[in-house]
Amino acid sequence: MTENLYINNTKEVYDAIVIGSGISGGWAAKEFCERGLKTLMIERGRVVEHRKDYIGENKAPWQQPLRTKVDNLLVKEQHQIQQQCYAFTDATKHFFGNDKDLPYTTEKGTNFTWIRANQLGGKSLLWHRQSYRLGEYDFNANKSDGFGNDWPIRSQDIEKWYSHVEKHAGISGSLDNLENLPDGEFLPPFEMNSPEKALQAKFAELYPQRPLIMGRTAHLTKPTKLHLSQGRVKCQARNECHAGCSFGGYFSTQSSTLPAAAATNNLHIAPNSVVHSLIYDEKTNRVKGVRVIDNDDLTEREYFAKVVFVCASTIGSTQILMNSTSKKFPNGIANSSGVLGHYLMDHNYNAGASGDIEGFEDEIDRGRRPTGLMMPNFYYKPDASRNFLRGYALAGSAYREGWQSLQHQDGLGADYKNKLKQAGKWRFGLYAQGEMLPRFENQMRFHPTLKDKWGMPQIEFDCQFSDNETNMMIDAAQQAEKMLKAVGLKNVSSQVMNGPPGLAIHELGTARMGRDPKNSILNAYNQSHDIPNLFVTDGASFCSSAVQNPSLTFMALTVRAVDYCVKEMNAKRI
């Protein structure tokens, strides 16, 4: 391992700078380091060490002062926004951003929930680990209905890079041979419980075009030699992942990419370093390095490298580009097209249905499976007869009710206690995860006057779901309800909700790829059209959202971009 992994001030000119240490940045650093390049990973937040700093891990509820809940006062002062995330609990709160330090605004009449994890590892510590490849219809979607620009890549361009990241990260799932959800290099899938198996069979019979599959997830169901050699062992099915996992049971920067990068001796990390802007040299038309404000004492420093990979998460990356202005790029670096900040997307989780499953009273499951089932998007083929474009996936799992549901019944005393002791009926639901169209008017921009404590202009979101997304959710609720009734569930009810974008935590777009430099920021290799040694490889580069959880694609795009970049450097074109 590098003698001093963490650095503060240095005059060294690195081969590569990677901004951000989350899912994208971790992969970029690993791939550069393994190719022999001296790499500096810059992270705005504090260091979080694997195992040692998982301070909320494996604490039973009675060992937590407020039994998993977070003190009102703390929420009010620091986490008004972050607390909206389902994973915000006493065991995880320290991995969420401090809203007091990280203010943003929204255009009147709009709303956007921006969840942040500013520390070493970024949101890789907090994510839900659902991992799916994009399919050919997804890459074709914009082209076929004219919303957004055409993706400059297709499945065949990225396939081998998906395989590359899947083998290292460890993705569990079943081989399902579906037309638009490519299989990957899977570890064994998690088991289904009996009602789920029965439902799966029933769906296969009634809806052969709508298979129900086990969720594909970045968990080690059966670690390979490679995983074991990294000190990662089998997932223990605690389902406490967001608190951090000392077993390395799930993929995170800390468990997977960081140790691999550090083992090469080519890695340095500059923590507590808020990248303010990129340093641009107009004469050579190259980025030379980055300007950093110290997270704690607000002093300034600079770091230099031959290439810069911006992996600061979708909105974080675009914020840095927008804040890097020069004579040539008055509206943000690499923004000759003027689309920087536009085409912001998220997913839409605003519909679902659920009901009771009869039978199976003489069994229960054991352990806490960290994933549910998935019914992949069955609307991937365009069809003008629907009143919306694109589609949605549905996710859910079967479980037996516990005291949380049973407590509402009438009753007191030993009888009541006894009823709550036992497992209740089985339930199952299907919850939508819908595509959001790329629209120019959905955007992030800088507030004209407000800044944060590091002197960065504050972001103003102007982003809303459109009628297309609303119509889609109405359909999702209806379809889910209809199917659940058809497969025999009882007391089925459905709902359509009205949550704002952001809360799916799948921010995408704002520095999109494209073939045409006049309407896109990045080329097919996530390289800036304008500046050859500048790359953005996270969600900012997406042209459309598809319905799949996007992070596996961030990984694949990132490693593909590094491979291309190093080849270009070797060929002296960068």
Considering the complex, state which of residue 353 and residue 456 has its C-beta at the smaller distance from ligand FAD. Answer: 456
Residue found under tokens 């203010």:
103
312 binds, among ligand FAD, other proteins, none (CB under 5 to 8 A by kind): ligand FAD
| Residue 233 contacts which entry, ligand FAD, other proteins, none (Cβ below 5-8 A, type-dependent) | other proteins
**381 binds other proteins per the rule CB under 8 A:** no
Options 238, 286, 425, 515; binder of other proteins; rule CB under 8 A: 238
Question: Total binding residues for other proteins by CB under 8 A?
Answer: 81
Return the number of the residue (264 or 277) whose C-beta is nearest ligand FAD.
Answer: 277
Q: Interface with other proteins by CB under 8 A: which range of 27-35, 397-405, 501-509, 565-573?
A: 397-405
CA dihedral for 183, 188, 190, 194, sign (positive or negative): positive
Using rule CB under 8 A, residue 384 touches other proteins: no
Q: Closer to other proteins at the Cβ: 184 or 341?
A: 184
**Residues 240, 462, 475, 481: which binds other proteins (CB under 8 A)?**
240
Contacting other proteins within 402-431 (CB under 8 A): 402-404, 407-408, 410-414, 416-418, 420-424
- Residue pair 182/167 in contact (Cβ under 8 Å)? The answer is no
The entry of other proteins, ligand FAD, none that residue 129 binds, CB within 5 to 8 Å by partner kind? ligand FAD
The DSSP bridge partners found for residue 446 are: 459
CA-nearest of 174, 177, 172, 175 to 187 is: 172
CB of 362 to other proteins, least distance (A): 6
Q: Is the dihedral of CA 561, 113, 135, 241 positive or negative?
A: positive
Please tell me whether residue 72 binds other proteins under the rule CB under 8 A.
yes
Query: Smallest distance from the beta carbon of 537 to ligand FAD, in angstroms?
Result: 8
- Whether residue 148 contacts residue 542, with contact meaning beta carbons closer than 8 Å, is answered with no
DSSP string of 266-316? -EEEE-SEEEEEEEEETTTTEEEEEEEEETTT--EEEEEEEEEEE-S-HHH
Applying CB under 8 A, does 516 fall inside the site for other proteins? no
524, burial (CB in 10 Å: exposed 0-12, middle 13-18, buried 19+): middle
Question: Least separation, in Å, of the C-beta of 30 and ligand FAD?
Answer: 12
Q: Among 348, 317, 221, which Cα is nearest to 512's?
A: 317
Binding site for ligand FAD (CB under 6 A): 19-25, 42-45, 85, 87, 115, 117-118, 122-124, 126-130, 274-275, 311-313, 316, 320, 505-506, 538-539, 549-551, 554
311 binds, among ligand FAD, other proteins, none (CB under 5 to 8 A by kind): ligand FAD
Integer Cα distance of 364 and 423 in angstroms: 8
Strand partners, 426: 357, 400
The option from other proteins, ligand FAD, none interacting with 2 (CB < 5 to 8 A, set by class) reads none
Q: How far apart are CA 481 and CA 496, in angstroms?
A: 11
Task: Name the residue among 131, 125, 127, 113 with its Cα closest to residue 550.
Answer: 131
Q: Considering beta carbons, is residue 109 or 413 the nearer one to other proteins?
A: 413
